Structure 1
């Protein structure tokens, strides 16, 4: 490379290890969710929505929950399992890379987390509360830690 030197594998700082564990945990939970959804199938979800409709005395023919009930079928469940599985693999690979202080993992995490920031701002605008601010602040911290790691690699 021309210009600034590039240190591809500095010693991982504790912030990267904390993020690696966090990403690994998210990946593990997503794998558990995907496996559970695949094993259980659509019927438990349909039962839950039916009980919510009944509990809140909603019209079973109109509204969001009945529409959701109609959308839950084996094909939709398989698609959800595939999407959640991809998310899980993404997070597990990112966690492994962060633990090993890989630059590509910092890029993956920084870009992936920064993609959530507009959604966080939207959530604050429409559902202002401490929890939406906490998510925004947490995501900003993650982006800052990973961006700092990438800047330090350039220095």
Structure 2
């Protein structure tokens, strides 16, 4: 950042030891936040009717028993209350992703901590998904999360937490 830019933004003081990949991860996290925001908004705007139609199409297409197993459970839990709860969780997830993206973009240590912890939480689930459903998608998700954890942990180590 030039001297002129630093005078224009006195609160922006990037750590010279910060990892250069923080901005890439910030963009990735902001994109995840945007997707969650769109999904949560869609749930709130559309309500349970499209989900119920999709479930009935699934039952008809694959000739599933609507009174057995997960299909029966889904048909009972798709209601306005559950859709509002799912949308609220989606909005919360979006807010978390946006806060993390802002912290990473502004090269804040807390942003690296938040990102490292939130990505690491998914690693056991990613490994489980890979075991249950091996394939390129499961491998890609695991590798991306491992890279994110590695970059952010290395950033924290290089900046000494």
- TM-score, normalised with respect to structure 2: 0.87
The answer (yes or no) to whether the contact 2:19–2:151 under 8 Å persists in 1 is no
CA contact (8 A) 1:94 1:109 kept: yes
The answer to whether the 8 Å contact 1:97/1:105 transfers is: yes
Structure 2 distance, partners of 1:123, 1:141, is 17
Matched residues in 2 for 1:147 and 1:118: separation?
17
Contact map agreement 1:113 1:142 (CA 8 A) in 2? yes
- Residue 85 of structure 1 corresponds to 91
| Higher normalized contact order (CA 8 Å, seq sep 6+, divided by chain length) | 1
Q: Which secondary structure does the structure 1 equivalent of 2:21 belong to?
A: helix
Contact kept? 1:9, 1:103, Cα under 8 Å:
no
Query: Which of 78, 81, 84 is 1:75 aligned to?
Result: 81
1:10 aligns with 2:15: yes
Deviation at 1:13, TM superposition (A): 4.2
Indicate the residue corresponding to 2:148 in structure 1: 142
Tell me if structure 1 keeps the 8 A contact 2:30–2:101.
yes
Unmatched tracts of structure 1, length 5 or more:
1-7
**Residues 126 and 138 in structure 2, CA contact (< 8 A), matched pair in contact too:** yes
RMSD of Structure 2 on Structure 1 (CA): 1.6
The yes-or-no answer on 1:120 pairing with 2:133 is no
Match of 2:65 among 59, 75, 82: 59
Displacement of 1:152 after TM fit? 1.1
Distance 1:51 1:125 in 2: 29
Asked if the contact 2:104–2:111 (Cα under 8 Å) also holds between the matched residues in 1, the reply is yes
Determine if the alignment matches structure 1 residue 49 to structure 2 residue 30.
no
Q: 1:42-81, CA deviations, whole angstroms, 9 ceiling, x for partnerless residues?
A: 0110010011101111122223123201110011001101
Distance 1:63 1:147 in 2: 42
Instruction: After superposition, give the CA deviation of every residue in 1:81-110 in whole Å (9 maximum; x if it has no partner).
Output: 111111000000000000000000100000
Count of residues in Structure 1 that have an aligned counterpart in Structure 2: 148
Displacement after TM superposition at 1:30 (Å): 0.6
Counterpart secondary structure, 1:14 = coil
